């Protein structure tokens, strides 16, 4: 039986819904799964970016991997390249305090505004709203 060269899918979200006591995954393309030959395993881990459901982040993340490959190596879970987040920053320069929201992707400071998109790099902000 031929394997899929010990490859895996990308990590996708898995959300818990207490009202139904169940989980719902992100959608994924079944044609990608047809590339696997033989058997696969599903790996699930806690999402280290989960913050009590804030910004719609999933409770867990999962990937599908060839079952004959070694156990998955430590994988750093990162945010999607197309999204960013406004991060509150404060810094002191000489006798002046600068504060405001900063884009997590490019470092652009946006004052007290949490816009939907970063004006500098164009990333969609997961906690933007104006």
Q: What is the helix, strand, coil percentage profile of the chain, to 5?
A: 5, 35, 60
Do 62 and 92 sit in the same domain of this protein?
A: no
Are 47 and 20 part of one and the same domain? yes
pLDDT in tens, 96-111: 888 888 988 888 888 8
Find the domain containing 24 and state its range. 12-66
Share of the chain above pLDDT 70, in %: 81
Note whether 19 and 62 are same-domain residues. yes
Same domain? 49 vs 87: no
pLDDT at 19 over 70: yes
Do 51 and 21 share a structural domain? yes
Regarding pTM above 0.75, the answer is no
- What Rg do the C-alpha atoms of the chain give, in angstroms? 19
- pLDDT tens, residue by residue, 33-53: 777 777 888 888 888 877 776
């Amino acid at each position: 039986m031929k394997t899929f060269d010990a490859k895996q899918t990308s990590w996708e979200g898995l959300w818990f819904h207490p009202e139904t006591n169940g989980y719902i995954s992100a959608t994924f393309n079944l044609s990608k799964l047809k590339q696997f030959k033989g058997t696969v395993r599903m790996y699930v881990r806690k999402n280290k970016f989960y913050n009590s459901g804030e910004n719609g982040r999933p409770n867990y993340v999962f990937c599908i991997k060839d079952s004959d490959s070694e156990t998955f190596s430590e994988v750093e879970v990162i945010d999607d390249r197309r999204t960013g987040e406004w991060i509150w920053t404060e810094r002191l320069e000489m006798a002046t305090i600068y504060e405001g929201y900063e884009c997590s992707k490019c470092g652009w400071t946006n004052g007290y505004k949490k816009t939907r998109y970063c004006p500098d790099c164009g990333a969609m902000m997961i906690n933007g709203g104006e």
